[in-house]
Amino acid sequence: MHFGRRAMNWNALLPLFILASSLLPGLVIFFLPEDRVRTRITLNMAGAIIKVVLVGFVLWGVYIGQHYETRLPFLPGLDLVLRADALSILFITLSTILWLVTTIYAIGYLEDSPHRSRFFGFFSLCVTATVGVALAGNLLTFVLFYELLTLATYPLIVHRGTEEARHAGRTYLTYTIIGGALLLIGTVWLYGLTGTLEFTHRGFLAELVSTQHNALIIIFILLIAGLGVKAALVPFHGWLPQAMIAPAPVSALLHAVAVVKAGAFGIVRVVYDVYGIEFADSLGVTLPLAIMAAVTIIYGSVRALFQDDLKRRLAFSTVSQVSYIALGVALVGPIATIGGLVHLVHQGVMKITLFFCAGNLAETLGIHKVSQMDGVGRRMPWTMAAFTIGAFGMMGAPPIAGFVSKWYLGLGALDAGQDWVIFILAGSSLLNAAYFLPVLHRAWFKEAVADWPTDHHFGRRETAWALLFPPLFTAFLSLTLGLLASMPFSPLVWARFITTLEYAP
C-alpha cells in the first residue's frame, strides 16, 4: 500500500524531471561566464546523459504498462498535461539520443566561438521545448511548448549577429508566429466546441453532431496550416532554407530533431489523437493532406537538384523527406501509418548524419558548396562514409533505415487504395538519387582540383574527435535501425504497437 503510493508519486514527477534535466542546466549555463568551459561542458553532458537515462527508464516503464502523467492546473477547465504514451516515447527517444550526440558535436564545432554560454543556454531550452512537445498530453500543452520552441530557436538562428542572420531570423519568425497564431485559433475554437483537448486514441471528435462538421473541417485546416509551417509543408516551407544561416549544430538540431519534427509530430497527433484517422477520413480531409504532402515531396526534391550550397540542398531534402511522415499519416490504413511513424525516427537519424558531415566539411576544410567537394573522400574518408550511408538511406536503399519506411509507405498506399502514391515514392527516390549520387561521385571518384578553402589539420585524424564521432554514430544507427528493424524496442515494432491503438479493432 505504502509502496503503491510512492510509486504513484514518482510516476507523476518523472515527466517533469525529464523536462528539468535540460531546463535546469540551461538556466545555469546562461549565467556562466564565457571562460568556464569545463563547467559548461560538464553541465551540458550531465544534462544530456541524465535525460537519456530517465527516458530509457520511462521507455521500459511504458513497455510494461506503467502510466506516467503530470497534471498541473493552467486555465479554468484545462490542465497542463505531460504524459508519456507510446507515441511520445517514439519522439522523445529520438530527441534525447540525438540531443546527446548533437551536444558533443556542438561542443566541438563551437570551440573558441564567442557567446557559447548564450548558445548552450538556448540550446538546452530548445531541447526542453521539444521534449515538452513530445510529452504533451493535450492540445493546449502542445501549443504551449510548440510556441516555446519558436522562442527558443530564434536566438540560435540570429546567434552570429550579422545582418544576414537578422533577416533569416525575421523570416523564420514571420512564418512561425503566423503559424502559431493559426494553431492557437484552431485550438481555442475546438475547445469551445468540445470542452476538452485531451489526446485520446482514435480521437475525441467522433461524437459531435454533423452540423458542426463544417466547423471541424475549417479547424482542421487551421491546425494543419499552423503545424505545416514548422513541418515545412509546401507552401509554408520558405523559412527553412533561409534558416541555414545558423551554425551547423543548429541546422542539425532544427532539421533532424526539433522544429521540423515537432511540426510533423503535431500533424500525427492532430490526425490520430484529436480527430481520429477514421473520423478524419469521413470528414474528407485526409486526401487533401495526402496531396499536399505529395506535392511537397516532389517539390522539395526538385528544388534540391538545383542547389549548389550543400546545406541548402540538404534543407530542401528535409522539406521533401519530412512530408513522408505527413503522407503516411494521411493515407488511411494501418500499414501506411506504421511507415509514416517509423520514418519520423529514421529520417531524423539519417538527416542529422548528413548535416553533421556538412558541418565537418565546412569546419575542417571550409567547403560550403557541392562544387568544392571534388576528391574530398580521400581527405576525409570517415566523414564521407557516414555521408554515403545517410545518402543511400535517403534514397531508400536497403538495408539502411530509409528503406524500411519507404517499404511500409508503399505497401500502405496499395493497402489504402491510393495507388498514385507509389509513383510519388518512386519519383522521389529517383530524384533523391539524382541529387545525392553526383555528390558522392564527386567526393569519391574525382581528383581534388585545387587547395581546400581553409585547411585545419588534426594530426592523423581527419578532423576533431568531437566532430567525427557523432556522424559515425548516427550513420551506424541508421544501419542498425534498418537491419534490426524487427527486434523489440526498434522503432518499427514501436510504430506497429502505436498503430494498433489508433485503429478500431
CB of residue 33 vs other proteins: minimum separation in angstroms? 12
Maximal C-alpha separation, the chain: 74
Q: Which is nearer to other proteins, 27 or 37 (CB)?
A: 27
Map grid coordinates 514518482 to a residue: 10
Number of residues that bind other proteins (CB under 8 A): 36
> Can you tell me whether residue 85 is helix, strand or coil?
coil
Please say whether the beta carbons of 157 and 250 come within 8 A.
yes
The answer to whether 155 contacts other proteins (rule: CB under 8 A) is yes
- Residue 213 interacts with other proteins (CB under 8 A): yes or no: no
CB of 26 to other proteins, least distance (A): 13
How far is residue 271 CA from its own chain's centroid? 18
Q: Determine contact, residues 494/89, Cβ cutoff 8 Å.
A: yes
Q: Report the site for other proteins in 229-288 (rule: CB under 8 A).
A: none
Site for other proteins in 23-62 (CB under 8 A): 30
Helix or strand or coil: residue 285?
coil
Stretch that binds other proteins, among 49-57, 189-197, 306-314, 360-368 (CB under 8 A): 189-197
Residue 452 neighbours by CB distance under 10 Å = 18
**Amino acid at residue number 150:** T
Q: Which of residues 315-344 bind other proteins (CB under 8 A)?
A: none
Q: In this structure, what C-alpha cell is assigned to residue 30?
A: 546562461
Positions 95 through 124 that interact with other proteins (CB under 8 A): 114-115, 118
**Which of 167-175, 342-350, 368-376, 465-473 is the region at the interface with other proteins (rule: CB under 8 A)?**
167-175
Per CB under 8 A, the list member of 8, 13, 46, 181 interacting with other proteins is: 181
173 touches other proteins by CB under 8 A? yes
Identified binder of other proteins from the candidate list 56, 161, 235, 381, rule CB under 8 A: 161
Q: Which of 71, 166, 201, 202 binds other proteins (CB under 8 A)?
A: 166
Alpha-carbon span 228 to 233, nearest angstrom: 5
By CB under 8 A, name the one of 112, 163, 447, 451 that touches other proteins: 163
Distances in Å between the Cα of 158 and the Cα atoms of 30, 165, 167, 234, 423 are 17, 5, 8, 24, 40
Interface pick for other proteins out of 43, 152, 165, 344 (rule CB under 8 A) = 165
> Cα(244)–Cα(99) distance, rounded to whole angstroms?
19
Contact set for other proteins, span 70-89 (CB under 8 A): 73-76
Q: Cell 576528391 sits at which residue?
A: 375
Query: Angle at Cα 355 formed by Cα 351 and Cα 357, nearest 5°?
Result: 115
The minimum distance between CB 468 and other proteins, in angstroms, equals 31
Nearer to other proteins, 169 or 328 (CB): 169
Q: Verify binding: residue 221, other proteins, rule CB under 8 A.
A: no
Kindly write down the DSSP assignment for every residue of 357-414, as one continuous string. Answer: HHHHIIIII---BGGG-TTHHHHSHHHHHHHHHHHHHHHT-TTSHHHHHHHHHHHHHH
416 closest CA partner among 281, 268, 279, 265: 281
Residue 37 or 448: which CB sits closer to other proteins? 37
SS3 91: helix
Positions in the binding site for other proteins (CB under 8 A)? 30, 73-76, 114-115, 118, 143-144, 147-148, 150-151, 154-155, 158-159, 161-163, 165-166, 169-170, 173, 177-178, 180-181, 184-185, 188-189, 191-192
